[in-house]
A and B are shown apart, each in its own frame.
Chain A
Amino acid sequence: MTSEVVAGPAIEVEGLVKVYPGGTRAVDGIDVAVERGEFFAFLGPNGAGKTTTIRILTTLLRPTSGRARVLGLDVTERPGEVRRRIGFAMQTVALEGLATGRENLELMGRLHRVPGPELRRRVDELLELMGLAAVAGKLAGTYSGGMRRRLDLATALVHRPAVLFLDEPTEGLDPQSRAALWQELARINREGTTMLLTTHYMEEADQLCPRLAIIDEGRIVVSGAPAELKRGIGADTVTIQLEAAEGEMATRQDAVARLLDGFSPLQGLERTDEGVRLAVVDAASTVPDLLRRLDGDGIGVRALTMQHPSLDDVFLRYTGRHIRDEAADRPLEIGW
């Protein structure tokens, strides 16, 4: 079914807009292209339009305007053909609790028309891979959260989809299960499956996604490789705690400011309660020089920390807000 070659990139989205009946503009003009074999992520706060976009791509929602193609097939014009070639694991795990793990997999395989003997092999293989072989005969309703996630992911893989869509695949998992799941996703991708996933976990996206698009308020604000995006921010942050006697902190800070006036890697200086926070280009190689200068002038340093820019800094640069603030403020999203 899925070995058939269809022309075009794995995912192609042009001017995609979705306005819900209530008037909410969930997706407000998204353009993106994902090549075959890529591991691509949508990063953004809850309510940014990630889920809506992924639901359009998986044929569950019709766009208000714009085009979306998966493997060259238009999702509104040829939904049936798209469905045969994709796998989708939603934000909320959807399993039949009164069926066993094996039965859950077999049903999805049957609906995808995987032939009997091949299906049995594939189900065994997936149960083994997901570490569920021992509980294959138990009702899925008795599984733990991590096991349910893995089984749900397996049901999206039974028919060997060419493109796999994952909406917040690590949501609700403990850190250990999350790490294991990412490893599994990377392995599936290495075997040739194109991956498009959404997440609001910055650290995960940063470390594990070769390329991503940052989405906010229904638009892609910037996209690229995490390292490249962070380089675009330029400076690292160097936080220095100064040695200063009671009431002398201000004088010390002034001295630092004078001393570093004209120090070329410095892009910004901010006073804190305990010292200064500097924006410095390539902190790792400039900090020794910086320390020598301070030392030469008799300014005592109590502690120093360096921080590379994070994807949150990237988000902040383009939207003026932090991803985390947003995520915390939103009411719980309910899965329907």
Chain B
Amino acid sequence: MLAFARETWYLGLRTLRRFLRVPANPISTVIFPLIQLVGFSQLFRDIIQLPGFAGQTSYLAYLAPGQIAFTVFLAVSWSGSNLLYDYRNGYLDKLRAAPIRRYSILAGELVPLGLECAAMAGVILLVSVALGASVATGFVGAVLILVLCAAFGVAWSGTSFLPALLTKNEQATGTLSILFFPLAFMSTAFVPVRLMPDWLQVLNAVNPISYVIEAARALMTTGYDWGAIGAAVVAIVAVGVVLQGATLLAFRRLTN
């Protein structure tokens, strides 16, 4: 276990450097949520007068948790491409010929990915606060939001790792990232569930990102809503078990 942690640490440092040394990586991740946050909060400023928004002080405050959670979608949309690149140029073989546990290689991708998600979501959180949103649960609550984002990001990254490992095709790596659109726009990021037509309410009930958004929203606007937080954890674990379980099998097959 210690050896696994050690190997993951050194491989993780490499992954983190790769992310940070290309400034386009962090910038392209935060730019879209930032535009939405600033643009939509102004454009739809008066929408909170609708009865469904009862209790909200500003649309910005309502919008912020959704944009924070969205950042995660963008942060992981091409996450499988690193591993695929290593596979192509032989680096994966180089690591396989080294005396390490092969799952350290996967962990060395996923652990930094969680950190990237937390950091990028953190940028949006900070900007939200600067624009007037607040975090009712304070610093600890903010950290909890970022932890949920990191966990969701790692779980969701299977949508990139899985096609990458199965097709070994760079183009396929980002294909499933378009799931972002239906999932994001049919979630409770923009309007509360009470304002949705019935069929959207049904879809929303199985939309994992909505659970993460609701937990983050509770932590920002009301307080520790353990029901919402628990639901988010269940949603994240469910997504993680399915997607990362399959990713693990595909990785095993690739490195055999």
- A103–B20 alpha-carbon span in the complex (Å): 15
Given A98-B18, A98-B21, check contact A84 B99 (CB 8 Å): yes
Partner of A83 from B6, B21, B91, B99 at Cβ < 8 Å: B99
B90 within 8 A of A: yes
* Contact (Cβ within 8 A) B99 A96: no
Set of chain A residues within 8 Å of B93, measured between Cβ atoms: 60, 90, 94
B14 within 8 A of A: yes
Partner of A111 from B10, B88, B90 at Cβ < 8 Å: B10
* Contact (Cβ within 8 A) B99 A113: yes
B96 to chain A, nearest CB (A): 6
A320 to chain B, nearest CB (A): 34
Given A98-B21, A103-B17, A107-B10, check contact A83 B97 (CB 8 Å): yes
Main SS class of interface, A? loop
* Contact (Cβ within 8 A) A60 B98: no
Per-residue CB contact flags for chain B residues 168-181 toward chain A (1 = under 8 Å, else 0) read: 00000000000000
Per-residue CB contact flags for chain A residues 86-100 toward chain B (1 = under 8 Å, else 0) read: 101010111110110
* Contact (Cβ within 8 A) A99 B17: yes
Chain B 201-254 residues near chain A, CB threshold 8 A? none
* Contact (Cβ within 8 A) A111 B14: no
* Contact (Cβ within 8 A) B96 A60: yes
Chain B 90-117 residues near chain A, CB threshold 8 A? 90-91, 93-100
* Contact (Cβ within 8 A) B97 A86: yes
* Contact (Cβ within 8 A) B22 A98: yes
Measured CB to CB, the nearest residue on chain A to B7 is A111
B87 within 8 A of A: yes
Set of chain A residues within 8 Å of B11, measured between Cβ atoms: 107, 111
Set of chain B residues within 8 Å of A113, measured between Cβ atoms: 99
Per-residue CB contact flags for chain A residues 67-98 toward chain B (1 = under 8 Å, else 0) read: 00000000000001001101010101111101
Set of chain B residues within 8 Å of A59, measured between Cβ atoms: 96-97
Set of chain B residues within 8 Å of A336, measured between Cβ atoms: 87-88, 90
A15 to chain B, nearest CB (A): 23
- A252–B19 alpha-carbon span in the complex (Å): 77
* Contact (Cβ within 8 A) A90 B18: no
Set of chain A residues within 8 Å of B94, measured between Cβ atoms: 88, 90, 94, 108, 155
A324 within 8 A of B: no
- A58–B225 alpha-carbon span in the complex (Å): 54
* Contact (Cβ within 8 A) A95 B91: yes
A112 within 8 A of B: yes
Set of chain A residues within 8 Å of B95, measured between Cβ atoms: 111
Set of chain B residues within 8 Å of A107, measured between Cβ atoms: 10-11, 13-14
Chain A residues touching B, range:
20 to 34
Set of chain A residues within 8 Å of B13, measured between Cβ atoms: 107
- A94–B14 alpha-carbon span in the complex (Å): 14
* Contact (Cβ within 8 A) B18 A96: yes
A157 to chain B, nearest CB (A): 13
Measured CB to CB, the nearest residue on chain A to B95 is A111
- A246–B211 alpha-carbon span in the complex (Å): 97
* Contact (Cβ within 8 A) A98 B99: no
- A174–B69 alpha-carbon span in the complex (Å): 52
- A118–B36 alpha-carbon span in the complex (Å): 52
Per-residue CB contact flags for chain A residues 150-172 toward chain B (1 = under 8 Å, else 0) read: 00000100000000000000000
* Contact (Cβ within 8 A) A60 B17: no
Chain A 99-118 residues near chain B, CB threshold 8 A? 99, 103, 107-108, 110-113
A335 within 8 A of B: yes
- A155–B95 alpha-carbon span in the complex (Å): 11
B176 to chain A, nearest CB (A): 23
Set of chain A residues within 8 Å of B18, measured between Cβ atoms: 96, 98-99
Partner of A335 from B90, B99, B100 at Cβ < 8 Å: B90
Per-residue CB contact flags for chain A residues 112-147 toward chain B (1 = under 8 Å, else 0) read: 110000000000000000000000000100000000
Given A94-B93, A96-B91, check contact A112 B14 (CB 8 Å): no
Identify the A interface with B (CB < 8 A): 58-60, 80, 83-84, 86, 88, 90, 92-96, 98-99, 103, 107-108, 110-113, 139, 155, 335-336
26 A-B residue pairs with Cβ-Cβ distance under 8 Å, sorted by A, are A59-B97, A60-B97, A86-B97, A88-B94, A90-B93, A92-B89, A92-B90, A94-B93, A98-B21, A98-B22, A99-B17, A99-B18, A103-B14, A103-B17, A107-B13, A108-B94, A108-B98, A110-B6, A110-B10, A111-B11, A111-B95, A112-B98, A155-B94, A335-B90, A336-B88, A336-B90
Given contacts A58-B97, A111-B100, A113-B99, 11 further A-B contacts (CB under 8 A): A83-B98, A88-B94, A92-B89, A95-B91, A98-B17, A98-B22, A103-B17, A111-B7, A111-B11, A111-B95, A155-B94
